[in-house]
Amino acid sequence: MFIQLWPTEKLNLKDVDEYKYLKQSNCYSITGVDDAEQFHVVKEALNVVHVSKEDQESVFAMLAAVLWLGNVSFTMIDNENHVEAVEDESLISVAKLIGCDIADLSLALSTRKMRVGYDNIVQKLTLSQAIETRDALAKSIYACLFEWLVEQINKSLAVGKRLTGRSISILDIYGFESFDRNSFEQFCINYANERLQQHFNRHLFKLEQEEYIQDGIDWTKVDFDDNQDCLHLFEKKPLGLLSLLNEESTFPNGTDYTFANKLKQHLNSNPCFRGERERAFTVSHFAGEVTYDTTGFLEKNRDLLHLDSIQLLSSSSCHLPQAFASNMLNQSEKPVVGPLHKAGGADSQKLSVATKFKGQLFQLMQRLESTTPHFIRCIKPNNFQSPGSYEQGLVLQQLRCCGVLEVVRISRSGFPTRMSHQKFARRYGFLLVENAASQDPLSVSVAILHQFNILPEMYQVGYTKLFFRTGQIGVLEDTRNNTLHGILCVQSCFRGYRARRHFKELQRGITTLQSFVRGEKTRKEYAVLLQRHRAAVIIQKQIKGRNAKRTFKNISDASIVIQSAIRGCLVRRCSGDIGFKSGVSEVNESDEVLVKSSFLAELQRRVLKAEAALREKEEENDILHQRLLQYENRWSEYELKMKSMEEVWQKQMRSLQSSLSIAKKSLAVDESERSSDASVNTSDDREYSWDAGSNLKVPESNGLRPMSAGLSVISRLAEEFEQRSQVFGDDAKFLVEVKSGQVDASLNPDRELRRLKQMFETWKKDYAGRLRETKVVLNKLGNEEGALDKVKKKFWGSRRNSTRYV
């Protein structure tokens, strides 16, 4: 099964007939059962209960480890029958699957540690002891794995219980067992069935009849067999079966034969016990007599899983063996008062198997007592597990053993359905034809019974409850359900009609209200839009007129400047053609024309740049004026801030004015110096201009005209400064008036102030850059005039010297 559906590399599995634990029955398959399909169903079930893939692999690894443990063999190492584990494939596979060291596993299976005083002694095991240790480890792993799976399933199913506080638990009991040879396992199983049978009897017989008697109804008590004497035989202290078994298990020299003799010695007087020959005894159970053979009772009752094996599991690298070891340590150890069982080798006494079983059984009974039980009895039709075969004697024996016949007798003569007077009147009182609201619950209940003609022998009226025989309450339930269904139909129709009428009224009211609200809203929006449209038209008219005037003035000024520059250039060009005739003059004239052309291109570039900047400033000015008209209030709290900003602007204006005045003074000084130099050069030129009888004249105004053009640029910069100062001053004054409330405007003065400041800073940077650029150009022109003067002086000096030489 595992070989086909799980990787053999992980589990190292072989055929089923190669494992000792599986081949003892010689039954490897069951007719009609597909092992592969069943294994697939198991895996799907594990997925349903949310067991992860890793945990599933660990579960199958533990099962494979149990199979391989059964194949572990031992070899003799001395004459005293001491053994050690053979390190073969079985031992290696177990160590690999559990996740422990091979040497530690071999040591745990072949030796046992004991503590004597303050010393630890390692005792070698014989072959029988080693086999018992190996099988105990396999059984403990399998048992812990079963408990772990049950815990995982309960965790998955506990989600609904945490939400609702309710749950349904299913208990599959063993059932009484009686074979030809009954050992310790049947002893524990039948003891558990005795306790569960008492719970069944108490719930169905004792409590049922006690309730009838307490409520005062006419009832004939039904006798049934009680198993309390048999339970005393098992649980009585110190002379009960379990107490004597635990006592004999603690003695190192105790044997199964001495245990059987002790039972016969102390329990022969009990009616439920009978001693047999040699090691056997008989117990009279509820289901019948069962004979037990005490062979192996003491060894099976002792916990053969020693502390060495638990420590081996705790040292494993896998999480499941570690969890198993932790649970076993928590469950098996307790403080000890009295004789200590040294065979286990632990520092504290281990609970015997019977004691553990009894404790778990009592926990189960406490759980059952706190719930509402429902019982399902399964009857086996034959002992051959064959369909269609019915053995009457076997079935009758099971019905008697399980107490089913007594249950049927009580059900036939009893009253399985019961209900308190208050609950019955509250549940069925509305079915009365006459109004009985003022009557007590008992009178209402009796009136209901009479109205529906329920026979007196079919019910009993108790002190607090009404008791009915089987099937009587069904008539009342059917009438109640039909009446409630009719009431619900009438109520649904009436509620639907009322809801529809209310909905239509609400719909009409909402529609009328919406029409009024939407009309009023639309009229207000139209009035606001109309007012804004008129204001926008007025503002656009004013702004467009102002922008057109400003654009016309700027274009006119720029045209005059360009015309003056072009006319000056043409005049200078004409004057140059008249004054010079020689080859030298032609060369100088071409150079002068090139210089003047470059100067003209520079002026044109600056004019274009000024026009672009002008358009940009006009657009910004349009945006500014549009935003100034959109805001109205919120200005009074910023008065101090506006004043401080105005002072800062005034300081910056004064600094710019001082810078401009300094620039003008420096330019005036440079102009005066150049004029004086030009006059001196002119006198020298006149002295020597006609010495050689030449008609050549040097142009006198070549250096003055570029300077006049530079002065015109500076005058335009000064004019722009005055205009911008006036514009920003007017805008700031307007914002101050809006802030103080003298002028009404729908704008935010604070935000417009920040925008105005940003525009002022931008213009200031641009203006300062143009001022520096003008200054650089003027300095360049001054340098060029100085170089020209030097050329002229050199030319006239050479001419004078040549004339003198002649």
On the question of pLDDT at 580 being above 60, the answer is no
Instruction: Using a pLDDT cut of 90, give the percent of the chain over it.
Output: 25
How far is the C-alpha of 81 from the C-alpha of 126, rounded, in Å? 5
How far is the C-alpha of 492 from the C-alpha of 505, rounded, in Å? 20
pLDDT tens by residue, 625-668: 776 666 555 555 556 666 676 777 777 777 777 777 776 776 66
Helix (H) or strand (E) holding 284: strand 280-284
Work out the pLDDT band at 429, boundaries 50, 70, 90.
confident
How far is the C-alpha of 468 from the C-alpha of 239, rounded, in Å? 47
How far is the C-alpha of 348 from the C-alpha of 359, rounded, in Å? 19
Stretch 590-600: mean pLDDT, rounded? Answer: 57
Stretch 315-340: mean pLDDT, rounded? Answer: 70
On the question of pLDDT at 788 being above 70, the answer is no
pLDDT at 519: 95
Work out the pLDDT band at 4, boundaries 50, 70, 90.
very low
pLDDT at 688: 37
Query: Hey, what are 118's tokens?
Result: 């303050």
Stretch 39-43: mean pLDDT, rounded? Answer: 92
pLDDT at 642: 67
3-state secondary structure of 433: coil
pLDDT at 675: 55
Say whether the peptide bond before residue 238 is cis (omega within 30 degrees of 0): yes
Stretch 203-228: mean pLDDT, rounded? Answer: 78
Task: Collect contacts of 491-498 with beta carbons under 8 A, ≥24 apart.
Answer: none
Of the candidates 543, 552, 567, 556, the one whose C-alpha atom is nearest the C-alpha of residue 716 is 556
Of the candidates 187, 198, 188, the one whose C-alpha atom is nearest the C-alpha of residue 291 is 187
pLDDT at 349: 47
Between 673 and 740, the higher pLDDT residue: 740
Between 440 and 44, the higher pLDDT residue: 44
Stretch 386-414: mean pLDDT, rounded? Answer: 81
Q: Average per-residue pLDDT in the chain?
A: 79
How far is the C-alpha of 158 from the C-alpha of 49, rounded, in Å? 11
On the question of pLDDT at 16 being above 60, the answer is yes
Pairing of strands 74-76, 83-85: antiparallel
Work out the pLDDT band at 287, boundaries 50, 70, 90.
confident
Work out the pLDDT band at 542, boundaries 50, 70, 90.
very high
On the question of pLDDT at 537 being above 80, the answer is yes
Between 346 and 29, the higher pLDDT residue: 29
User: By the 8 A CB rule, do 386 and 371 touch?
Assistant: no
Stretch 578-586: mean pLDDT, rounded? Answer: 47
Which residue has tokens 């620039």? 663
On the question of pLDDT at 801 being above 50, the answer is no
On the question of pLDDT at 179 being above 80, the answer is yes
pLDDT at 783: 64
On the question of pLDDT at 693 being above 70, the answer is no
Work out the pLDDT band at 510, boundaries 50, 70, 90.
very high
Question: Nearest-5° angle of CA 604, CA 605, CA 611?
Answer: 90
**Which of 16-30, 134-148, 156-170, 310-324 shows the lowest per-residue confidence on average (mean pLDDT)?**
156-170
pLDDT at 634: 56
pLDDT tens by residue, 472-481: 888 888 989 9
Beta carbons within 10 angstroms of residue 732's beta carbon: 19
User: By the 8 A CB rule, do 126 and 109 touch?
Assistant: no
Name the amino acid, one letter, at 108: A
3-state secondary structure of 358: helix
How far is the C-alpha of 655 from the C-alpha of 437, rounded, in Å? 104
Work out the pLDDT band at 278, boundaries 50, 70, 90.
confident
Instruction: Using a pLDDT cut of 70, give the percent of the chain over it.
Output: 78
pTM confidence score: 0.52
On the question of pLDDT at 396 being above 80, the answer is yes
On the question of pLDDT at 344 being above 50, the answer is no
Stretch 13-17: mean pLDDT, rounded? Answer: 87
Work out the pLDDT band at 29, boundaries 50, 70, 90.
confident
Burial (CB count within 10 angstroms: exposed 0-12, middle 13-18, buried 19+), residue 466? buried
pLDDT at 407: 75
**Which of 92-106, 116-130, 399-413, 752-766 shows the lowest per-residue confidence on average (mean pLDDT)?**
399-413
Stretch 577-588: mean pLDDT, rounded? Answer: 48
Stretch 168-192: mean pLDDT, rounded? Answer: 86
Query: Hey, what are 498's tokens?
Result: 């009322």
pLDDT at 505: 95
Backbone angles phi, psi at 252, to 5 degrees: -60, -30
Of the candidates 749, 527, 763, the one whose C-alpha atom is nearest the C-alpha of residue 638 is 749
Query: Hey, what are 255's tokens?
Result: 């044997």
pLDDT tens by residue, 111-128: 888 777 677 788 888 888
pLDDT at 311: 86
Work out the pLDDT band at 273, boundaries 50, 70, 90.
very high
Task: Collect contacts of 231-234 with beta carbons under 8 A, ≥24 apart.
Answer: 231/194, 231/195, 231/198, 232/270, 233/267, 233/270, 233/272, 233/273, 233/283, 234/191, 234/194
